[in-house]
Chains A and B, each alone.
Chain A
């Protein structure tokens, strides 16, 4: 019995199933890379990268990227990973308060999907949003300084971890599931204006059971909204595994009238390919689609959760060793002779500098002046409008 099999047996039932489910693609991949190493591309076949629901054909299982793309994807995933590590440290130093939900382990989803998006596509997600905020155009400083509540944060410190916004990016939403109908509404606006864009509405395995998600599915299908509903299934809704929360944990099949694709969310190229397929589907008037990204989070649900009371450390370590989206992609790129380890080390150093610079701002930039607490309540305050503070002697005149 090899170490891997032994590991599997030691895991709790859910962990075992999760790892087995996600492990399926690995063996086939490695052997095909070495063959296709000429021509400056990384290409391979990933026959188990997708599972289909109500679809005759799915995304191409033959995936590829050129050197430039490969290095770009690596760098972006590494930025997200290091940015979240920085957030972890700053939270522990009490520079970040309240809630902080880290995306580490899920990087291939945000990087892979964004690579297939058009620049005018929209996106909305829940509270595990830092990676998405970065990918939707907010620099690392804008994210980290928002986490530490400074005025150089992307919402000037007003929103914090769960409420970051950018053009075409509607947050960052704190209420589980609320972002799904909102996302269908953004898709409604695209269709209303005759635009050939989609809205991607992300939610987790925990949120997948929310009633409003099904209400959104119904209307999206009825009205053929160009909405891609994406379940980022990281195996756990807070501390509750998918087996304990969902009678049907195959989230891509949860809607009997919307086609779905399960995707290996740890493979950035498979994610990109599947997103291209889904986007083509939605923009050709065929209505909505559901995707389930099988992924994993290394940290607990949030900073207040060590993440080990409902899963074993072995499970987490095992995913890091065998399924990490960044190291596994780097290995593939190196094996295909697209780039050297040296080049990757240089990228790592670049990323380190970006994060350090952002941390500097996050730790030293000032907060908004306290008078600003009264601003931006209305975009259109009536003349003579004043806002009351905490006592009868504190009123702020809001002049437009």
Chain B
């Protein structure tokens, strides 16, 4: 039976709302927020909570954020806490990292992670490795956040997905949230964490509404870094994904349900450290695995997941080789049809699931 929550989300029509009134009054009271609101709130709360936290980046203050992620924060917290920088990523990422070494807790925003390549030396060599090299003497409690991966029609240089690049590096924690609850809980956890965190958002779902519980809206709501979540339980096949990949997994799962195929969708939430256990447990149950992501196939997160499954006892539970759904192995084109077909869509997931299930 479809839950009322799904009905409201899928159709949003007033008629359905009226029908649901008689069934579950609670559905009306359920709040929804967008990813954007979730992130803005999380930053606001953490800046209010701890004097050492501040936000630094291009256009974060007076412009309210290039994608309006810091709307209202400068008016509320002022110049000291919300700092506009010149267009000098290497410089300000270095400054933010130095401030973290000296005991502050910066949130360093990259307008998109494409520009983080100009500053990547500071993320990896100055931030990630320092705690180890100093044998625990110097902590770097910094969060690097911003939109990652493709937007719409911004072409190759503005569309790269950095999930694998950052998740390869020991010393970093790499988070790739999906829902508004993920964003709230994990961004707050990231700011409170003493290690350097890369927080990979996705611009295409900034405006998407998600239901959110009162608990998730509370000021001290944090989610554990390194733990995934089962977005949808199922018994025939495991779909392991993260960030915007979850969107097409859930859509594919809905369609497959009509064919009697029950998908278990795992939202990884964190890429490093990766929650292997949640994937292994699921694979042992479903015996089939498809990984889904928007990044390029070579050395993808899916490749890592499949390697780990094959190296573990979960391999013996597989009834078919695990396969991946990824972005096409090309720089991203501008033209609409080309762009759409360079990124994974629901049909790619359907085809892959049917293949592993031999249907």
Q: Which of B125, B138, B173, B273 contacts A178 (CB under 8 A)?
A: B125
A210 to B160, CA, bound (A): 26
Measured between beta carbons, the chain A residues less than 8 angstroms from B132 are 158, 376-377
A218 and B91: CB pair below 8 A?
Answer: yes
A186 to B104, CA, bound (A): 9
A211 and B90: CB pair below 8 A?
Answer: yes
A159 at the interface (CB under 8 A from B): yes
B134 and A185: CB pair below 8 A?
Answer: no
A171 at the interface (CB under 8 A from B): yes
A380 and B194: CB pair below 8 A?
Answer: yes
B91 and A215: CB pair below 8 A?
Answer: yes
A192 and B170: CB pair below 8 A?
Answer: no
Contact with B along A381-400 (1 / 0, CB 8 A): 01001010000100000000
A181 and B95: CB pair below 8 A?
Answer: yes
Contact with B along A181-223 (1 / 0, CB 8 A): 1111111111011000001000000000001100110110011
Contact with B along A266-309 (1 / 0, CB 8 A): 00000000000000000000000000000000000000000000
Measured between beta carbons, the chain B residues less than 8 angstroms from A380 are 193-195
Q: Which of A173, A180, A190 contacts B102 (CB under 8 A)?
A: A190
Q: Which of B91, B134, B139, B173 contacts A212 (CB under 8 A)?
A: B91
- Chain B residue nearest to A168 (CB atoms) is B102
Measured between beta carbons, the chain A residues less than 8 angstroms from B122 are 178, 181-182
B98 and A182: CB pair below 8 A?
Answer: yes
A134 at the interface (CB under 8 A from B): no
A175 at the interface (CB under 8 A from B): yes
B136 and A379: CB pair below 8 A?
Answer: yes
Measured between beta carbons, the chain A residues less than 8 angstroms from B85 are 219
Knowing A211-B90, A382-B226, A392-B311, the reply to whether A178 touches B139 (Cβ < 8 A) is: no
Q: How far is the CB of A265 from chain B (nearest CB, A)?
A: 25
> Which of B83, B96, B133 has its CB near the most chain A CB atoms (within 10 A)?
B133
Measured between beta carbons, the chain A residues less than 8 angstroms from B83 are 223
Knowing A163-B134, A165-B137, the reply to whether A178 touches B88 (Cβ < 8 A) is: no
A170 and B135: CB pair below 8 A?
Answer: no
- Chain A residue nearest to B171 (CB atoms) is A377
A185 to B126, CA, bound (A): 12
Measured between beta carbons, the chain B residues less than 8 angstroms from A171 are 130, 133-134, 138
A175 to B120, CA, bound (A): 12
Contact with B along A357-394 (1 / 0, CB 8 A): 00000000000000000011111101001010000100
- Chain B residue nearest to A223 (CB atoms) is B83
Q: Which of B88, B171, B227 contacts A215 (CB under 8 A)?
A: B88
A394 to B96, CA, bound (A): 36
Q: How far is the CB of A249 from chain B (nearest CB, A)?
A: 23
B138 and A192: CB pair below 8 A?
Answer: no
A165 and B193: CB pair below 8 A?
Answer: no
Measured between beta carbons, the chain B residues less than 8 angstroms from A163 are 133-134
B131 at the interface (CB under 8 A from A): yes
Contact with A along B212-238 (1 / 0, CB 8 A): 000000000000111100000000000
Knowing A170-B101, A192-B54, the reply to whether A379 touches B95 (Cβ < 8 A) is: no
B91 and A189: CB pair below 8 A?
Answer: no
Measured between beta carbons, the chain B residues less than 8 angstroms from A173 are 126
B125 and A159: CB pair below 8 A?
Answer: no
| Residues of B127-157 whose CB lies within 8 A of A | 130-139
Measured between beta carbons, the chain A residues less than 8 angstroms from B194 are 379-380
Measured between beta carbons, the chain B residues less than 8 angstroms from A178 are 94, 121-122, 125-126
B90 and A185: CB pair below 8 A?
Answer: no
A109 at the interface (CB under 8 A from B): no
B138 and A170: CB pair below 8 A?
Answer: yes
Measured between beta carbons, the chain A residues less than 8 angstroms from B97 are 181-182, 185
B92 at the interface (CB under 8 A from A): yes
A97 to B173, CA, bound (A): 31
A124 and B98: CB pair below 8 A?
Answer: yes
B297 at the interface (CB under 8 A from A): no
Q: How far is the CB of B72 from chain A (nearest CB, A)?
A: 22
A155 and B134: CB pair below 8 A?
Answer: yes
Knowing A155-B137, A215-B91, the reply to whether A186 touches B98 (Cβ < 8 A) is: yes
B260 at the interface (CB under 8 A from A): no
Measured between beta carbons, the chain B residues less than 8 angstroms from A222 are 86
Measured between beta carbons, the chain B residues less than 8 angstroms from A58 are none
A187 to B83, CA, bound (A): 15
Knowing A158-B133, A158-B135, A178-B126, the reply to whether A219 touches B91 (Cβ < 8 A) is: yes
A122 at the interface (CB under 8 A from B): yes
A156 to B131, CA, bound (A): 12
- Chain B residue nearest to A385 (CB atoms) is B273
B103 at the interface (CB under 8 A from A): yes
A226 to B170, CA, bound (A): 33
A174 at the interface (CB under 8 A from B): yes
Q: How far is the CB of A136 from chain B (nearest CB, A)?
A: 12
A215 and B193: CB pair below 8 A?
Answer: no
Measured between beta carbons, the chain B residues less than 8 angstroms from A376 are 131-132, 135-136
> Which of A124, A166, A215, A375 has its CB near the most chain B CB atoms (within 10 A)?
A215
Knowing A377-B171, A380-B195, the reply to whether A192 touches B94 (Cβ < 8 A) is: no
Measured between beta carbons, the chain B residues less than 8 angstroms from A211 are 90
A sample of 7 inter-chain contacts (CB < 8 A) reads A173-B126, A175-B125, A185-B94, A189-B98, A189-B99, A192-B80, A379-B136
10 nearest interchain CB pairs?
A185-B98, A181-B94, A215-B91, A189-B102, A182-B98, A215-B88, A382-B226, A185-B95, A163-B133, A156-B135
Known: A178-B126, A182-B95, A188-B102. 14 other contacts (CB 8 A): A155-B133, A155-B134, A174-B125, A175-B121, A181-B98, A182-B94, A182-B98, A182-B126, A183-B98, A219-B91, A219-B95, A376-B131, A378-B171, A392-B311
Q: Which residues in A have some Cβ–Cβ distance to B below 8 Å?
A: 122, 124, 155-156, 158-159, 163, 165-166, 170-171, 173-175, 178, 180-190, 192-193, 199, 211-212, 215-216, 218-219, 222-223, 375-380, 382, 385, 387, 392
